[in-house]
Chains A and B, each alone.
Chain A
Amino acid sequence: MSEDRSRILNLLAGGKITPEEAERLLGALDARTSAAEAPAGPAIKGDPGPLVAALPKYLYVKVNASNGDNVDVRIPIALVRSGLKLTSLIPQQAMDQINDSMSQHGMSVDFSNFKPEDIDELVAALREMEVNVDAKNGDTVRVYCA
């Protein structure tokens, strides 16, 4: 069994992807391996397009307020990744001001803790994240990737 195939099956076994997604990824993998195989080369051979296309590309934030106000934001995940990479380059003095301002608004997040080597892992985890908030007053907030 190839490493890619076992990785997909592990993701399925771990509940990180649905059976439909696993089927789609395995199908893409089969299509790729049926193409001409080189005896040696990179870990991902052939066209990675189907695999890449299967990944979510956007982060969605949807807010429906009970008073009728609706906010719907779609952000490219590539922008999130670039933004996170940028935080590691911001001078410490500016970062302290950002952190202070964020904590004053109720968000105690220390952006200086984001290390460049962790960002890809963070973005990969973000793709699987889903947040659903249903407030008592009828407000709903949904954050997900698709």
Chain B
Amino acid sequence: MNVPPLILDVRVASSRRRPVHLWLPLFLLWPLALALGALALVFAIVADGVLLALGRRYHHHTVLLVRSLEALSEARGTVIRFSNETTAVDMTVQ
């Protein structure tokens, strides 16, 4: 698994206002997300165990959770740019 996104860099330039450069430290959210993720993982494992014991066809919540985190980790390098005649917005996940 790769390192999750650490910074969201947002730049907004407008002909009417001063340019804005936001540097959002996503890494500060990761300790909280880690705690919530660990809790969700426990619930998912228990739920999958119960569903498996009941013979239900779908019992992949744990894998779904892990794969979601994996997909989130691959988001580094995503760039979204929008511009028109007056405004330009640039968002980069680093």
Question: Which A positions have Cβ atoms within 8 angstroms of B?
Answer: 57-58, 67-76, 78-79, 81-83, 85-86, 89-92
Question: B58 to A91, Cβ gap below 8 A?
Answer: yes
Contacts of A90 in B (CB 8 A): 64
What distance in Å separates the Cβ of A121 from its nearest Cβ neighbour in chain B?
19
Question: B84 to A86, Cβ gap below 8 A?
Answer: no
Of all A-B residue pairs in the complex, the 3 with the closest CB atoms, nearest first, are A82-B71, A72-B81, A74-B79
Question: Which B positions have Cβ atoms within 8 angstroms of A?
Answer: 2, 58, 60, 63-64, 67-68, 70-71, 74-85
Given contacts A72-B80, A73-B79, A86-B68, 14 further A-B contacts (CB under 8 A): A58-B77, A68-B84, A69-B83, A71-B80, A71-B81, A72-B81, A73-B81, A76-B75, A78-B2, A78-B74, A79-B74, A86-B71, A89-B60, A91-B58
Residue of A nearest to B57 (CB): A92
Question: B77 to A82, Cβ gap below 8 A?
Answer: no
Q: In whole angstroms, what is the CA distance A73 to B79 when docked?
A: 6
Q: Name the one of B75, B78, B79, B82 contacting A70, with C-beta atoms under 8 angstroms.
A: B82
Contacts of B83 in A (CB 8 A): 69-70, 72
Question: B67 to A69, Cβ gap below 8 A?
Answer: no
Contacts of A75 in B (CB 8 A): 78
29 contacts between A and B (CB under 8 A): A57-B77, A67-B84, A68-B84, A70-B81, A70-B82, A70-B84, A71-B80, A71-B81, A72-B79, A72-B82, A73-B79, A73-B80, A73-B81, A74-B79, A74-B80, A75-B78, A78-B2, A78-B74, A79-B74, A79-B75, A79-B78, A82-B67, A83-B71, A86-B67, A86-B68, A86-B71, A89-B63, A89-B67, A90-B64
Residue of B nearest to A72 (CB): B81
Q: In whole angstroms, what is the CA distance A79 to B2 when docked?
A: 11
